[in-house]
Amino acid sequence: MMGQEIPGSYKNQDEWTSYADIGSNVSEEEYLTTEENYINAIISFMNEMNLDKMYLNALKLNSDEVEKQNASRVMAKVWLGKRVSKQEIKEVVKLTLREAIWCKLSYKKEFFIHFGYDNYMYIGAKKDCPEARVKVEMSGLLWKN
């Protein structure tokens, strides 16, 4: 199916998909804005779900990147099963987007987030969160149900 676009897909040859693309396909400023949009999206959903914490239920470290990001101090406070506050979630998400770690965060069977390849963010919520969805759309992040 080369050359054909699959309905519901997004294809832009100039699109950047990684922290490593800074300097070649994306400016640091644009990357940081997008990173902040991801964090704000998560916090918006948490607020609408009335959650002030999540739990780390999957974690993989990339030690070289943890060191490059000077994140050893942050990672010393993070472990599998840990209750993670909103402030800590911001740090964990930054490290995930910057490819220092990969993780899944959840709250019981009510809410989860994790990132896939190329910075796809997956959010699952037990209830509809229309205000959070609007905020995500307004931020410029692509949304797909």
What pLDDT, in 10s, does the model give residues 28-67? Answer: 999 899 999 999 999 999 999 999 999 999 998 888 888 8
Which sign, positive or negative, has the C-alpha torsion 40, 44, 45, 46? positive
Q: What is the overall mean pLDDT for the chain?
A: 86
d(CA 125, CA 22): 32
Percent of the chain whose pLDDT exceeds 70: 90
**Rounded to two decimals, what is the model's pTM?**
0.84
Q: Which tokens in the block code for residue 4?
A: 């054909």
Radius of gyration of the chain (CA): 16
- What count of other Cβ atoms lies within 10 Å of the Cβ of residue 105? 24
Q: Check residue 92 and give its pLDDT.
A: 92
Q: Which pLDDT band, with edges at 50, 70 and 90, does 11 fall under?
A: low
